[in-house]
Amino acid sequence: MFENLSDRFDRAFKVLKGQGQITEINVAETLKEVRRALLEADVSFNTAKSFTNSIKEKALGQNVLTSISPGQLMVKITQEELTSLMGSEKADINVSGNPAVVLMAGLQGSGKTTFSGKLANYLKTKKGKNPLLVACDVYRPAAIDQLHVVGEGIGVEVFSNRDINDPVQIAKDGLKYAKEKGFNLVIVDTAGRLAVDEVMMKEISNLKKKLSPSETLFVVDSMTGQDAVNTAKAFNERVDFDGVVLTKLDGDTRGGAALSIKSIVNKPIKFIGTGEKMDAIDVFHPDRMADRILGMGDVVSLVERAQEQFDEEKAKKLHRKIKKNQFDFNDFKDQISQIKKMGGMKDIAGMIPGMKKALDGSEVDENAFAPILAMIDSMTPKEREFPDIINMQRKKRIAIGSGNDIQEVNKLMKQFNQTKKMMKLMSNKQNMMNMMKQFKKMGGKMPS
């Protein structure tokens, strides 16, 4: 996400990262490039101008010109301003009440129905809620069916009534049903509407008035850029929503909506959609997003994702196997599966500081694990459990069975053996201490 914006920011700061003299002139040139980057990202002119003026004021006030690392200081100031522009701190969703009611609103095609399912799944698995989805889109063909399919996929019940065409009545009946059946959260999926459609806007206003939701979320397609911001502003004037959801952020290379919406609408971005799967939902953290835009990665989010996939029992079992030197291809495959569950390879790479520059524009192959998994699946159960028995004849059979050549099988065996050795070393505290000592002798600096 935000590839174009990240590249432009990187180029803008190269002027100040050089060894040449830093002057007020090249600081101004850098900020001119930053402003251009924002405008190209579809940020409004006034927002871009205000943003760069604020950086300039703070930069000159902190003596960037006489700083030992002026480039780093400028990046730090810019990171702080980007964070502030996007809302400073994460904004939590309000799910108080019994049941709590979350009302979804937005344009057609913004992804409300899919996101309603994602939110239900998130609050069910992460917050221990017992959600009910209520289908109030009576206009779009198959909208009710779509929500039922989504609900079935995540194990969440869906309330609908195909016999009446009044969304307000359906929502009220759904709320009554939730109270009777003990659901503590109701998520109301509504029809897409234009801000200029008076009848439809009156309907969403009535829904909010009758339901008194604890949270009203405006769902918008981030790829529509400045149009998304303008639409959010028009909706907010009529509905006064509590927060914004940016969908399809994984495909947004510009980032205009994420950068502008908070400053113009004065409502926080609460969630972002980063893919089609039901777990492709993230709480929006302005500081982490600012880091990613500036190429600093997002280690905190990466660790959080890793922890979500962490199975303590499996980890203990694996540790015992490693200590006994019994790490096999079943374990190797399991580790790959855990990495894949953390998200797309491109997304993960973007969370690792410096990885973007290391890739130098190279595309991250989302199917990088496919040939490896195909080779492992082509092994017999005995070969997976006892890799040492894999001789040349077995390698040829594995290569043919997986559609790879023998060189790829040899490469896999080498990677496996290196991984096995590294895990064996890391499982032994004394070995780890020796590795640290060797690293220090080589001139490496250990983290404090």
Cis amide leading into 213 (omega within 30)? no
How far, in Å, CA of 320 to CA of 169, rounded? 59
Question: Which residue, 130, 172, 183, is CA-closest to 154?
Answer: 130
Query: Among 372, 370, 369, which residue's Cα sits nearest to residue 384?
Result: 372
Q: What is the mean pLDDT of the chain?
A: 79
pLDDT of residue 281: 86
Q: Is 66 helix (H, G, I), strand (E, B) or coil?
A: helix
The answer, yes or no, to whether residue 265 has pLDDT greater than 90, is no
Residue 222 and residue 110 in contact, taking contact as beta carbons nearer than 8 Å: no
If one compares 26 and 283, the residue with the highest pLDDT of the two is 283
Under 8 Å between Cβ of 2 and 248: no
Tell me how many degrees the CA angle 24-353-126 measures, rounded to the nearest 5: 120
Q: What per-residue confidence (pLDDT) applies to 264? A: 83
Tokens representing residue 320 in the block: 């015992």
| In CATH, 100-295 is 3.40.50.970 | no
Per-residue pLDDT tens for 52-93?
888 888 877 766 666 656 667 777 888 888 888 888 888 889
Kindly tell me if the per-residue pLDDT of 270 is higher than 50.
yes
- The pair of three-digit structure tokens given for residue 80, joined into one six-digit string: 């702080």
Please determine, looking at this structure, whether the domain spanning 3-85 carries the CATH number 1.20.120.140: yes
Sheet holding 100-106, edge to edge: 157-159, 131-136, 185-190, 100-106, 215-221, 243-247, 269-273, 281-283
pLDDT at 342: 64
Percent of the chain with pLDDT over 90: 26
User: Which has more confidence, 5 or 406?
Assistant: 406
What six digits make up the tokens of 3?
A: 């590839």
Residue ranges per structural domain of the chain: 3-85, 100-295, 306-441
Q: What is the mean pLDDT of residues 1-10?
A: 71
Q: Name the nearest CA neighbour of 73 among 49, 55, 50.
A: 55
**What is the percentage of the chain residues whose pLDDT exceeds 70?**
77
Nearest residue to 91 via CA among 231, 244, 203: 244
Nearest one of 218, 224, 286 to 254, comparing CA atoms: 224
pLDDT tens track for 167-217: 999 999 999 999 999 999 999 999 888 878 888 988 988 999 998 999 999
Question: pTM of this prediction?
Answer: 0.66
Q: What is the pLDDT of residue 189?
A: 92
SS3 246: strand
Write the CB contacts of 129 (distance below 8 Å, at least 6 apart in sequence): 95, 100, 123, 184, 185
C-alpha 256/C-alpha 225 separation (Å) is 5
pLDDT for the residue 422: 76
Tell me the pLDDT tens digit for each residue of 15-53: 666 544 567 777 788 888 888 888 887 788 888 888 888
Residue 432 confidence (pLDDT): 47
- Highest average pLDDT, of 147-151, 229-233, 333-337, comes from 147-151
Give yes or no for a contact between 193 and 109, defined as CB atoms under 8 angstroms apart: no
CA distance 245 to 187: 14
Reported confidence tier of residue 331, pLDDT bands at 50, 70, 90: confident
Q: How confident is the model at residue 253 (pLDDT cuts 50, 70, 90)?
A: low
Instruction: Identify the CA nearest to 262 among candidates 11, 80, 7, 82.
Output: 82
Q: Would you place residue 442 in the very low, low, confident or very high pLDDT band (cuts 50, 70, 90)?
A: very low
Q: Which residue has the higher pLDDT, 296 or 290?
A: 290
Identify residue 446 by its one-letter amino acid code.
Answer: M
**Between 137 and 336, whose confidence is greater?**
137
Task: Report the pLDDT value the prediction gives residue 429, as an integer from 0 to 100.
Answer: 52
Work out the pLDDT band at 224, boundaries 50, 70, 90: confident
pLDDT of residue 302: 56
Three-state SS at 23? coil
Domain spanning 306-441: which superfamily? Signal recognition particle, SRP54 subunit, M-domain (1.10.260.30)
Q: pLDDT at residue 418 above 90?
A: no
Q: Which residues contact 89 (CB under 8 A, 6 or more apart)?
A: 286, 287
Distance of CA 60 to the CA centre of its chain: 34
Classify each residue of 36-52 as buried b or exposed e, where b means 16 or more C-beta atoms within 10 Å of its C-beta: ebbbebbbbeebbeebb
What gap in Å lies between CA 88 and CA 80, rounded to an integer?
A: 8
| Structure confidence at residue 366 (pLDDT) | 58
